[in-house]
Amino acid sequence: MSDSSRSLDDLKTLLHSSVGDDLQQKMKFYNSWAETYEQDSDTMSYSAPHQTVKFLVDNFSGRPEQVQVLDVACGSGWVANLMVELGFKHFVGVDGSQGMLDQAAKTGLYKELKLALLGPEPLPALSGMFDVVMIVGALRHDYVPVSVIRELCLAAKPGGYICMSRNGQKSESGNKYKVSMEKELQLMEEEGLWSHVITKDMGKYMIDMYNCEGVQNENYIRGTMYLYKKSLN
């Protein structure tokens, strides 16, 4: 079987091979997965990029062709590809996997692509530069720590948008992350850093590849999308 035609059970085995790895090892895993990542994600019905881009556009006012976008945890460039179809043109990408950045470079959509392990390393973006900051799927335990959310806000221009989505995988670590993240979102609002625009649930984030009962029944993980607007002062 070729890599491009992996079954759901094959992909479940693949994903479980990375469970428990430290962040450096996870990035090596993504380096090796990068070339077939989008095809495999389609097999898993991973819809977060599509749903999150639509969520942003449905709640965004402005001229897309003038917007500067920071695509955080950009992976292979999937989000930028979707945004280009809607008129967005200017992108800077950040990811922790060089293999994924190599795939993103092939799209030709990014002005710059920067390698960084978010959390251990600072977000490599100038403050107040971006009209839109996107992060899709990476806000989870053992990937991008909650502390990075303040850096996302810092990178946005006054009045800019920060659009985030995360999966709602039901686990002890997942629930702890959700509680910690939403506490930080609220605290940042109370501090006057940004204002809440809208939060929306995703019914079908992706097929649940992490349960112990196989994937034949195609149970789906839910997700949540968040949109905030950076304060003007």
What does the pLDDT look like over 20-52, one tens digit per residue? 668 888 899 889 889 988 888 888 888 999 999
As assigned by CATH, the class of the 3-230 domain is alpha beta
Return d(Cα 119, Cα 130) in angstroms, integer: 20
Q: Write the DSSP string, 93-137.
A: EEES-HHHHHHHHHTT-EEEEEE--BTTB-----TT-EEEEEEES
pLDDT digits (tens, 9 = 90+) for 181-228: 999 999 999 999 999 999 999 988 888 876 655 444 568 888 999 999
pLDDT one-digit tens code per residue, 59-113: 998 899 999 999 999 999 999 999 999 999 999 999 999 999 999 999 999 999 9
Is 171's pLDDT higher than 70? no
What would the two tokens of residue 118 be? 């978010």
Q: Which of 51, 105, 104, 60 is nearest to 220 (CA)?
A: 51
